[in-house]
Structure 1
């Protein structure tokens, strides 16, 4: 399974957002004081509520959900800003993005030819080297280098199997099974709803947990009081955290094979996946079954 050339071209346009975002610790703000005249510096709480930066484009690329809470301030900058920083300041800032687990940071070993990346964006942290992608740097790369980088990153996001699982599927699932999305946004919940109802436009939306549960209940599903295996064809498996909040959902086709999407980025493909692989990924959460009521 590989993204198409058209998808790679679209990914290349949105992989790095229009503005650079850096998460920083409070004590680092003082060290950067003389370099902040051309940026927006805001408290993390204010940033989290900012309409512009809550867009899927920014959230997916910078992986907000992974960023450490130690990053209590956020710098929003024009892509040219990093070129004005002294080398030692830039290096410390990029190292901090690695430490705080911001997105657009990848270990150098996943790329075949690292010499094609500008050296100032290859940073060492705790005995490992990483490539930290930023707007200015991304614009400097050729289309060929961008495509190679995107393919390498896509391989990091997905469960690696020797070959795609192919089975007979309903037409609406067959259209998307074992393919990548062109844009970010579609998540596991919209994908599972699509498997149930086949409403195509909803497949590409980012659906939230309460909306999802309400949707499958309207489709005639009810939660089982006890987990029953083997699963029935058409069962929905939902993984919840200790507070009962939905973390993931997947649609059981048959024979422990699922129509699944593991996240909301375009690197997360719609895949036919074995239940054993799915359960490994989500083993930290409690699995519950929703089953369609007969006659509904």
Structure 2
């Protein structure tokens, strides 16, 4: 049951952070000819310079354009583009550029049909025409690519509807009754304010959520839980808190246990904190749309699988 409420305050924060105040485009060597039509209001980077430039390649930009999945080996140029540029392009040129972005796994590309009802409900009569410019076809489907230059033209009602719809895709179905929720709030007062809620900053990841869990009362939970925490930081904290690795037996899970998932390189790719009775304090990713959610083992298996799992238990 998807029951997480999204406040207007959160929607306003997302409105500002969904996309940077510029459009970001990636090009392969074969598509270099599409850069000159963009005109003078662009900054062209080599991939090396862009990915090393922390003033532009910020955590917000990384999450906006989902840069963890981009095909870096195919990229020859990165263009930071003023938001007035794309609306001036010929439709054919824009379509080519947007299609390339999808091929390179960059950007916020969404099936047009999934948001049609949201757009149709808007009182802004120009929205469909605007979206048509950012729509392209691939794999027998229509997609549209969200960019700041398009987002700036959405009315507030459409923005809220879009953000709410988008966020729902990141919420797992979890059934938990009021009595159990009240008990978990009582047992874990340091985590209770974050149960089934959203962050206001990009970067707060699963390792930070788990670290906040084991830090317990007395720690600056709001500060800890809002950080981008690295694997080494969490592992050091587990050692300091007297956690040790134990055989994972699901039916024998205990409150305050920590689960880790490792990839084939032995890197920690996910962590969560067991509350009790198979309910976990969990955050699936580092974006604004990944909620801190009370979650279940089945949902964790669904997202992270059953391979590479480790259990850490606090020793008394």
TM over 0.5: yes
Moved more, 9-18 or 95-104: 95-104
The answer on whether the counterparts of 2:279 and 2:296 sit within 8 Å (CA) in structure 1 is yes
Pairing 1:170-249 to 2, within 5 Å after superposition: 170-198=188-216, 199-200=220-221, 201-224=223-246, 226-229=247-250, 230-249=252-271
Name the counterpart of 2:30.
27
Structure 2 residue 94 is the aligned partner of structure 1 residue 90: yes
Normalising by structure 2, we get a TM-score of: 0.87
1:239-270 per-residue CA deviation (whole Å, 9 max, x = no partner) reads 00011101000001111110000001110001
Deviation at 1:113, TM superposition (A): 3.1
**1:71-150 maps to which residues of 2 (within 5 A)?**
71-111=75-115, 112-115=117-120, 116-117=127-128, 118=130, 119-150=132-163
**1:164 Cα deviation after fit:** 8.0
Q: Which residue of 1 aligns with 2:298?
A: 276
Separation (CA, whole Å) in 1 of partners of 2:34 and 2:48: 21
Preserved CA contact (<8 Å) 2:43 2:79: yes
* TM-score of the superposed pair, with normalisation by structure 1: 0.92
The structural deviation recorded for 1:282 is: 0.4
Would the aligned equivalents of 2:255 and 2:275 in 1 still touch at CA under 8 Å? yes
Distance 1:13 1:242, change over 3 A: same
RMSD (Å) for aligned C-alpha atoms: 1.9
1:6 to 2:9 alignment: yes
Aligned-pair distance for 1:30?
2.7
Aligned-pair distance for 1:231?
1.4
- The 10-residue stretch of structure 1 (188-197 or 79-88) with the greater mean CA deviation from structure 2: 79-88
Where in structure 2 are there 5+ consecutive unaligned residues?
Answer: 121-126
Q: Deviations over 1:105-136 (max 9, x none)?
A: 22223212335341201222221112211112
Change (3 A) 1:140 1:197: same
Q: Whole-Å Cα distance in 2 between the matches of residues 285 and 141 of structure 1?
A: 43
1:179–1:31 CA distance, 2 compared to 1 (3 A):
closer
Query: For residues 216 and 103 of structure 1, do their structure 2 counterparts lie closer, same or farther at Cα, with a shift above 3 Å needed?
Result: farther
1:60 aligns with 2:78: no
Aligned pair count?
Answer: 293
Cα offset for 1:161?
Answer: 4.5
**1:34 Cα deviation (Å)?**
4.5
CA change 1:232–1:284 in 2 (3 A) is: closer
Q: Which runs of 5+ in 1 are unaligned?
A: none
